[in-house]
Amino acid sequence: MAFNILVVDDSATMRMVIKKTVEISGVPVGHFFEAAHGKEALEILDNNWIDVLLSDINMPVMNGIELLAEIKNDENLKRIPVIFITTVASDARMEEARRMGVAGYVTKPFQPEVIRGVLYKVLEDAYQQKVEVPTQSVAQEKDDDLDF
């Protein structure tokens, strides 16, 4: 099964980094969608099937907490697991997010392995199926293919 992934972050550069991190993690990706804030994300969610959403918290227009609340209040969207990838790492903020139903939490700065670990766990929990973890990452495979 390939997963449709939506990344929400007001930094285009961070979205690109997260996309690359997901790609090298080996998670099978169907379509990759991007939004710069919560409102834009809701428009994408209205028109596309999304399997997992990775979102920043601190964003203009609509922040990640507001986006999570919208998703959890919508019968059609509340099934979608949401992972926060954010600099906001206070215990209180994480507890608030957990109460609201966030599926995972990654704090910036992050190691790619952390996103990979959280993403696999969330996908397995949400879809009740084993997500095949490659024995080596895609990046390693690419390195191995190089002849010197």
Partner 1 sequence: MDDQFRSLVYRACSAVFETMFFLFPEPIDEIPGAGRRGAFAPNGAHIRASITCHGSSSGSFKFFIPRLLAVHITTNFLGVSEQDINEEQILDTAKETVNMVVGSLLGKIDPTGATKLQIPEATMLDNFSVTEVLKEKGLFLFNTDFGPLCLVYTQQ
* From 92, 135, 144, 147, residue interacting with partner 1 (rule: CB under 8 A): 92
Is 146 a binding residue for partner 1 by CB under 8 A? The answer is no
Is 10 a binding residue for partner 1 by CB under 8 A? The answer is yes
* From 4, 14, 70, 126, residue interacting with partner 1 (rule: CB under 8 A): 14
* From 28, 43, 107, 132, residue interacting with partner 1 (rule: CB under 8 A): 107
* From 1, 2, 20, 31, residue interacting with partner 1 (rule: CB under 8 A): 20
Paired residues of 104 in beta bridges: 83
Is 101 a binding residue for partner 1 by CB under 8 A? The answer is no
Shortest distance (Å) from residue 8 CB to partner 1: 15
What are residue 56's phi and psi, to 5 degrees?
-75, 165
Determine the 3-state secondary structure of 5 from DSSP: strand
Residue 93: count other Cβ atoms within 10 Å of its Cβ: 15
Nearby residues of 105 by Cβ (< 8 Å), 6 or more positions away: 83, 84, 86, 94, 97, 98, 118
Is 96 a binding residue for partner 1 by CB under 8 A? The answer is yes
Cβ burial of 99 (10 Å; 0-12, 13-18, 19+) is exposed
Question: What does 105-141 look like in DSSP terms, one character per residue?
Answer: EEESS--HHHHHHHHHHHHHHHHTSPPPPPSS-HHHH
* From 30, 60, 101, 134, residue interacting with partner 1 (rule: CB under 8 A): 60
Is 91 a binding residue for partner 1 by CB under 8 A? The answer is yes
Q: Which residues bind partner 1 (CB under 8 A)?
A: 10-14, 16-17, 20, 58-60, 86-93, 96, 107-111
